[in-house]
Amino acid sequence: MTTEILLKVEKLTRRFGGLTAVSNLSFDVQKGEILGLIGPNGAGKSTTFNCVSGFYPASEGRIEFLGEDISKMNTAQVCHKGLVRTFQHDSLLTDMTVYDNILIATFSTISVKSERVRRVHETAEILNLSDHLQEIAGNLPHGLQRMVSIAIAFATRPKLLCLDEPLTGLNQTEVGGALAIFRRIRDEFKLSILLVEHNMKAVMEICDRIVVLDHGIFLAAGSPLEIKQNPAVISAYLGKRA
The residues binding another protein (CB under 8 A) are 53, 55, 74-76, 79-80, 84-85, 87, 90-96, 100, 103-105, 107-109, 113, 136, 138, 152-153, 155-156
| C-alpha radius of gyration, the chain, whole number | 18
Give the N- to C-terminal CA distance of the chain in Å, as an integer: 44
Nearest approach, Cβ of residue 176 and another protein (Å): 27
Comparing CB distances to another protein, the nearer of 84 and 140 is 84
The 3-class secondary structure across 183-212, one letter per residue, is HHHHHHHCCEEEEECCCHHHHHHHCCEEEE
Nearest approach, Cβ of residue 85 and another protein (Å): 6
Nearest approach, Cβ of residue 86 and another protein (Å): 8
Comparing CB distances to another protein, the nearer of 29 and 73 is 73
Distance CA 199, CA 141 (A): 20
8 A C-beta contact, residue 118 and residue 88 = no
Nearest approach, Cβ of residue 115 and another protein (Å): 13
Nearest approach, Cβ of residue 55 and another protein (Å): 8
Q: Across-strand partners of 15?
A: 20
Comparing CB distances to another protein, the nearer of 85 and 209 is 85
By DSSP bridging, strand 217-222 and strand 19-30 are: unpaired
Nearest approach, Cβ of residue 100 and another protein (Å): 6
Nearest approach, Cβ of residue 156 and another protein (Å): 5
21 Cα distance to chain centroid:
19
Distance CA 40, CA 236 (A): 7
Residue partners of 19: CB distance under 8 A and separation at least 6: none
Q: Name the residue among 205, 200, 208 with its Cα closest to residue 233.
A: 200
Comparing CB distances to another protein, the nearer of 151 and 212 is 151
Comparing CB distances to another protein, the nearer of 90 and 188 is 90
Comparing CB distances to another protein, the nearer of 164 and 197 is 164
Q: Name the residue among 156, 159, 137, 134 with its Cα closest to residue 147.
A: 137
Comparing CB distances to another protein, the nearer of 25 and 84 is 84
